[in-house]
Amino acid sequence: MLQVLSYQIADSIDIKQVKSVFTAVLIYSDADELFYKTGDMQYVYIFKYGVVSFLGYDDLKASEFIKFLGDYSKNITDLKLWEEFNIETEAEETKIGYNKISVAEPDEEIFRLIMLNVSQSVALDYYSQQSSLLLEETNHHTQCLEKKGRLEISGRNLQKYIGRTLNLKNRIVENLYIFDSPPETWEDENLNKIDTGLKRTFDIQPRYRDIREEIEIVKENLELFKDIMQHRRSNVLEWIVIILILVEVINLFIEKIF
């Protein structure tokens, strides 16, 4: 029985720098991911979107490698997001169950595909937590708007909030590819069967849709908040103009009298 462990360690990992310093056997690489063989039935899969996956590693060895990746990671997370998945390698037929897959004839492509799907699941957990926090904050502001008829947030804080939301949305859009099936599955029926089964097991597509819907809800509310803020600023400017005109009229009146 082999074990896959995938961890979300940061917002992103500099793939180019890691490739230049890590000298294990590189099986597959592109601008977004690196797949290494580091020993007998031991593999490491590193992703640009801040996830690293291990096969055949114990917790101590995985922790040491995560520490090594810290120098090449941006915005290291302390959320402790990880997922475990088991591979039975001496099965009579390929079968996918809860937290386990049985494989009749395992090879590196199958290992890579399994590690990819486990890593996608961890990344979805990460994005889901962030989008849920944004939605929770949005609901707080809409409740204030309902109860008090006004937003209790300054213009500067609203701009920061909009920036956080847009950054999260941009990261999700930038990493859309992580939820697609790799090209190898298009040509290999067995790989395609495994990929489809794993995506169903991890609920990849439904969870992704939920995140997109939450982001869209937040975006719609932000547009409303922005309009309200602009209207408030317009009212303030109108009152400033009215006060200035009133002051000028009073000055003229005083000059006429004296």
User: How far is it, in rounded angstroms, from Cα 36 to Cα 82?
Assistant: 20
Q: What pLDDT, on the 0 to 100 scale, is given for residue 237?
A: 62
Q: Nearest CA to 215 among 152, 165, 145, 158?
A: 165
Strand-strand pairing, 2-13 and 25-29? unpaired
Nearest-5° angle of CA 95, CA 200, CA 94?
15
Alpha helices in the chain (DSSP H): 15-21, 59-69, 108-148, 155-174, 184-187, 189-201, 204-257
Helix (H, G, I), strand (E, B) or coil at 227: helix
Q: What pLDDT, on the 0 to 100 scale, is given for residue 178?
A: 66
How many angstroms separate the first and last alpha carbons of the chain?
100
Sign of CA dihedral 22, 33, 46, 184: negative
Contact predicate 212/172, CB 8 Å: yes
Q: What is the pLDDT along the chain (258 residues), one digit of tens a residue?
A: 899 999 999 999 999 999 999 999 999 998 889 999 999 999 999 999 999 999 999 989 999 999 999 999 998 988 789 999 999 888 788 888 888 899 888 889 999 999 999 999 999 999 888 888 888 888 887 787 777 776 666 767 777 877 777 787 777 777 766 667 777 878 888 888 988 999 999 988 888 888 888 888 888 887 777 776 665 656 566 667 777 777 777 777 777 776
Q: What pLDDT, on the 0 to 100 scale, is given for residue 57?
A: 94
**58-63: which pairs have CB atoms within 8 A and are 24 or more residues apart?**
59/5, 62/5, 62/7
